[in-house]
Amino acid sequence: MSKFAISLSNPSNYHALDHWQVIGLEKWQDVLLHAISYDVSVAHFSLDYSTKHQRSGENVLALHPFLFYDVDNDKDGKKQPLSIKGARDLLERYGIAFGIVPSRNYKKLKENDSRPDVERFRIIIPLENPPPIELIKDKELFRKFQEIFAQKLGLIAYVDDAPLRDMARYYARHTTPPLIDSIVVQGRLTRVDKIFQMATQELIQERQEQETRRAEHKPFIPPKSSQTTSSSHGHIVIADKDRINAIHIADLINTLEGIVREYKEGTYRMIKTATAKYSITDDNIAYDFKSGKKYGVYAYLAEKFDTPVWNNIARKLGKLMGCEFLVPDPAFCVVLRNAMARAHSRQEVERTLKAHYGVGFVRFEYNYIRVADQCLDYPSAEDRKHYLALPPIT
């Protein structure tokens, strides 16, 4: 049985979804020829598969003994530029075997990139042994393994991150003759055991830290603020904004969406739900990769509860979590007087109070004011006089 093998798709089809087969290689550098002529993948895909197509992470049985790295030198500047010569000089220092093949868009103008003569290429590194089967069983471990390998080879600042996360990644064949020949550099085969051990240890530590953070967030609801009532009849309530904003946004995501997976990508804490992928920052901000939106606690709850009104958010959150996020408002006097100062009618005052407190019912009687289910005194006789002096409607 050949020491080296690779998966290829023939005939090529849309996104190389099917027709994957494994072929043996007499020598490792033969993979460079196949990478030009065929769609290739380092994943060994099952012939019997339950998903809608063969090339899927769920259908990976094993990994072939190669590492592929994409250097795209994209115009967005997310990665540092690297030339073929620079890549060769970098890797030759390690004394390892490697190959470099041009990508099919090598020095070609792309639809979204009009820069001429951009070097786009792939680095292929043969391994002493296939990566351990444990990487197939644990996607987080696979990503950690790939990340550390790229770091140790000095490539992490230059190569595309997406292939490092995608177990079922494939590399497209050339549709026209390549503009340059592939490069083969002989040397020792790269070991995988030490990197695998490092990845395992780092992932264990990260998962322990995640558990510690979860424990620190329980109970994650801050203590309720202490407020005094402002009226002899009752009191009007407002959202306890400080208490709500102190809730960790990851806990809110878990409560409202359910966390499917939590892991780290580099220094970023990542959270995946059934419909979204978030990056969580230390300042309690969530970045949604799919929508491109940035959420603080208020923005996230306002969208999920479909209301911008703080009091409505507090009511819905309290009902969901079984606790109270509304506190007495000591500033009712100020709110009322500001509403009357700007209003041209009693109707406008009522409308302003409804909007401010997020309630559907406000009614002024001669001796008291009813807001929702609370009866409040007029702050002063002058306030009652001011209100009654306004026309009923505009």
List pLDDT tens digits, range 44-61: 999 988 788 899 888 999
User: What residue type is 138 in one-letter code?
Assistant: D
User: What residue type is 231 in one-letter code?
Assistant: S
As a three-state string, the secondary structure of 157-199 is CCCCCHHHHCCCCCECCCCCCCCCCCEEECCECECCHHHHHHH
Q: Does residue 219 have a cis bond before it (omega within 30 degrees)?
A: yes
Q: What is the pLDDT of residue 227?
A: 44
Tokens representing 107 are 């020095």
The stretches in the chain having pLDDT less than 50 are 219, 226-233
Q: Does residue 391 have a cis bond before it (omega within 30 degrees)?
A: no
CA pair distance 171, 43, nearest whole angstrom: 11
88 contacts: CB under 8 Å, gap ≥ 6:
100, 183, 185
Look at phi and psi of residue 211 and say left if phi exceeds 0, alpha if psi is from -120 to 50, else beta: alpha
CATH number of 237-326: 3.90.580.10
Contacts for 221-225: CB closer than 8 Å, 24+ residues apart = 221/247, 221/321, 221/323, 222/246, 222/247, 224/323, 224/324, 224/327, 225/327
* CA-wise closest residue to 204 among 125, 138, 272: 138
Task: Find the length of the chain.
Answer: 394
* CA-wise closest residue to 43 among 71, 16, 66: 66
- Give residue-wise pLDDT tens across range 264-311: 776 678 899 989 999 998 889 999 988 889 999 999 999 999 999 898
Helix, strand, coil percent content, the chain, rounded in steps of 5: 35, 20, 45
Q: Are 185 and 139 in contact (CB under 8 A)?
A: no
Tokens representing 67 are 């590492």
SS3 category, 278: strand
Q: Are 386 and 378 in contact (CB under 8 A)?
A: no
Q: Which phi and psi angles does 191 have, rounded to 5°?
A: -80, 155
Domain with CATH 3.90.580.10 in the chain: 237-326
Q: What is the pLDDT of residue 341?
A: 94
Burial class (CB in 10 A: 0-12, 13-18, 19+), 64: buried
* CA-wise closest residue to 131 among 180, 199, 206: 199
Q: Are 308 and 298 in contact (CB under 8 A)?
A: no
Helix ranges (DSSP H) in 238-296: 241-245, 249-256
Burial class (CB in 10 A: 0-12, 13-18, 19+), 230: middle
CA pair distance 47, 265, nearest whole angstrom: 31
97 contacts: CB under 8 Å, gap ≥ 6:
28, 125, 126, 185, 186, 187, 188, 189, 190
User: What residue type is 215 in one-letter code?
Assistant: A
Count CA within 13 A, CB hemisphere, residue 135. Answer: 28
Reported as type and span, the H/E element at residue 128 is none
46 contacts: CB under 8 Å, gap ≥ 6:
54, 59, 60, 61
Q: Are 260 and 250 in contact (CB under 8 A)?
A: no
21 forms bridges with which residues in the sheet? 8
SS3 category, 24: strand
Q: Are 63 and 196 in contact (CB under 8 A)?
A: no
